Amino acid sequence: MRHIIIILLLTFGLFEKAFTDVGNCVKYEVDVGINDGRVVRGFVFVAGYERKFTFTDITFLDYLKRTNPTDTLVLYKSIRRLKFPALTRAPGECEVHFEAASPDNVIKIFKGKIKVVKVIRYGVCNNCDIADEKTGYSSNGIYPTVIIELTKSEIGLLQTKPLAQVGFGHEVDNNTDGYWMMSYNPQYNQTELEKIKNDFLLETDKLLKENNWDKVQVRYGTLKSELRKKK
């Protein structure tokens, strides 16, 4: 199916200034043992100042509880790296590619129900991080963002170059969100996407200046729905 996709990246997903002091970042593939006997395999991200998990006095589950004090563990059963969009930086620097998981590949597990977490393997959080066993898995400043709102077919489509695309954000203080709109439909060329973007920012920037962030989120959802219906 040829259609327009608008991708909403998670907050703090783009700019270095948001996470300049994130430290190291490691992506672990793990087996999560549940109290009822089930074992679930998936990926979990850990950002901090340890090079990787090497402790002998605590378990990896305790480590996850320490580095992320929320009561829920978010596990990605399958992750695919997207070829598009790519975050281009200064000439000659690494081109950041984002990762995505369809909603059916995202699992949330209450930590109180977890018996044990076993590490299978580990690696960098994204393709531009530095994997150094001595100094650590150094983050490049781009917080590990997994896009979780795309279908499997849309994830597959984003492995091919779009006919047109625009990247944009809100020029409002303390806002570091970033967005892309990509067209695989000949009826929506670069000019059409620019017009959609400009009209949308004119409306939503006004809402942001009035601190109506909830309304902006609703408007994004509406826009994505409208674009998908237009195929």
Cis ω before 91 (30° cut-off from 0): no
First to last CA, the chain: 8
Instruction: Give the single-character DSSP code of 108.
Output: E
Instruction: Give the single-character DSSP code of 218.
Output: H
Q: Give tens-digit pLDDT for 182-207.
A: 999 899 999 999 999 999 999 998 89
Task: Quote the CA–CA distance of 119 and 61 in Å, as a whole number.
Answer: 10
Helices (H), the chain: 60-67, 152-157, 190-209, 213-229
Neighbours of 181 (CB within 10 A): 25
- The torsion of the CA quartet 78, 217, 87, 163, rounded to 10 degrees, works out to 90
Please state the length of the chain.
Answer: 231
Task: Quote the CA–CA distance of 219 and 170 in Å, as a whole number.
Answer: 14
pLDDT band for position 78 (50/70/90)?
very high
In the predicted model, is pLDDT for residue 89 greater than 80?
no
In the predicted model, is pLDDT for residue 22 greater than 60?
no
Radius of gyration of the chain (CA): 19
Task: Return the closest-CA partner of residue 200 out of 218, 176, 175, 174.
Answer: 218
This model's pTM is above 0.85: no
Torsion sign over Cα 195, 197, 200, 202:
negative
Burial class for 65, CB neighbours closer than 10 Å (0-12, 13-18, 19+) = middle
Instruction: Report residue 19 as tokens.
Output: 């996470």
Q: What is the DSSP string of 182-193?
A: EE-STTS-HHHH
Residue 49 pLDDT: 77
For the chain, what is the total number of helices (H) and then of strands (E)?
4, 13
How far out from the chain centre does Cα 169 lie? 16
Task: Quote the CA–CA distance of 172 and 195 in Å, as a whole number.
Answer: 20
pLDDT band for position 19 (50/70/90)?
very low
pLDDT band for position 109 (50/70/90)?
very high
Query: What share of the chain in percent tops pLDDT 90?
Result: 46
